[in-house]
Structure 1
Amino acid sequence: MLNLQALVDKPTLVGERVRLVPLDASHAPAMFAGVNDPEVRRFTGTHAEFTFEDVEQYSATRREQTDRVDLAVLRAEDGKVLGDIVLNDLDAANEKMGFRIALIAEQGKGYGTEATRLLLRYAFDVIGLHRVELEVFDFNPRAIASYRKCGFVEEGRLREALLWEGRWHDALLMGVLRTDNI
């Protein structure tokens, strides 16, 4: 039985080096910088362009969502916004959700791996999910390695799922189960 109240009660999750807090409008300036960063846009496959007002409105409405969890990733030592991490696409009948993370600062330093592990614990131990799944583009080996460290297993591939700067790229499908040894 899923604890759907855990999707309403946005958590604060604390690790050694990161804190995950409910995403809100106060995070919009950092998030806006991220959605305009060329590397972040490429790794997330984001073609759309967003205004500051778009990002602020999106951030401000995350607490209202009752079928997902949107958290800001903060560096524990100083509160710097490193990005966001999300459980979305709730499929309650099959006890699964989608996952995404977008680091806008300090990539490659283990923050994303720690944040992912914290949110997976919440997903399995508090919400009671059986499965968490994601897509990642084949040109993002750092993210793929981080996901594998967190227990995600490659389950398939969407061939030529992203057209980026005139080249086609595959999306890897990855998933992790509550019963996996993570």
Structure 2
Amino acid sequence: MIDLSALREKPTLAGERVSLVPLAVEHADDFFESTRDEEVRRLTGTHRRPDYDEIRDWCATRADQFDRLDMAIVEDPGGRFVGELALRDLDADNESAGYRIALSAIEFTGQGLGKEATRLVLDYAFNRVHLHRVWLSVYAFNMRAIAVYRSCGFSVEGRLRNALLWDERRHDALIMGVLESDFRRARD
């Protein structure tokens, strides 16, 4: 049975090169800037550009959300904001949740920061929240992200054909999932 108090806690999760901290209003400036990065927008399929007040309000209300976990990814040492992630779309009856992650700039890709952040949040999801399954959606052209997810135990479970229209081209989205046992095998 899942532990909903683990989603209310809003913990800080420390890794070797990144920490996950509760997303809050102090992250609004950096988060807003990440929504302006064209490559980040393409990789996440984000057409809409929220204004600053929307981002600030979003960040300010994350601590009040008891059915999800929104975290800022900060680089250690230094505390530089490198992205954000969320455990969301909780299905308590089936002990599962969705996952999303976005690094804030392309300069942070290829360094293992997203992989470490993903492992930290999956460890929390399976060991503290007691989820059985975590799933995500990723665009098929994002091979780097797909490789990271596979290394964390995710497997492709399905394909949404032509799910994204970007620059007059259509792209498929892959649905990937990881079970607690898959994550443990990938970690060992």
- Does the TM-score normalized on the shorter chain lie above 0.5? yes
Q: Which amino acid aligns with 1:70?
A: D
TM-score, normalised to structure 1, is 0.99
Query: Equivalences for 1:126-141 in 2 at 5 Å?
Result: 126-141=128-143
Match of 2:172 among 159, 167, 170: 170
Q: TM-score, normalised by structure 2?
A: 0.95
Distance 1:107 1:82 in 2: 10
1:38 aligns with 38
User: Which of the residues 119, 122, 134 maps onto 1:120?
Assistant: 122
Q: Which runs of 5+ in 1 are unaligned?
A: none
Q: Distance in 1 between matches of 2:98 and 2:2?
A: 15
Identity of counterpart residues, as a percentage?
54
Q: Does 1:86 align with 2:86?
A: yes
- Unaligned stretches of 5+ residues in structure 2: none
CA root-mean-square deviation:
0.6
Partner of 2:148, secondary structure, is helix
Deviations 1:74-117 (A, max 9, x none): 00110000000110000000000000000013111100000000
3-state SS of the aligned residue for 1:58?
A: helix
Q: CA deviation at 1:130?
A: 0.2
Distance of 1:112 and 1:179 partners within structure 2? 21
**Aligned-partner residue type, residue 59 of structure 2:** S
Q: Which residue number corresponds to residue 8 of structure 2?
A: 8
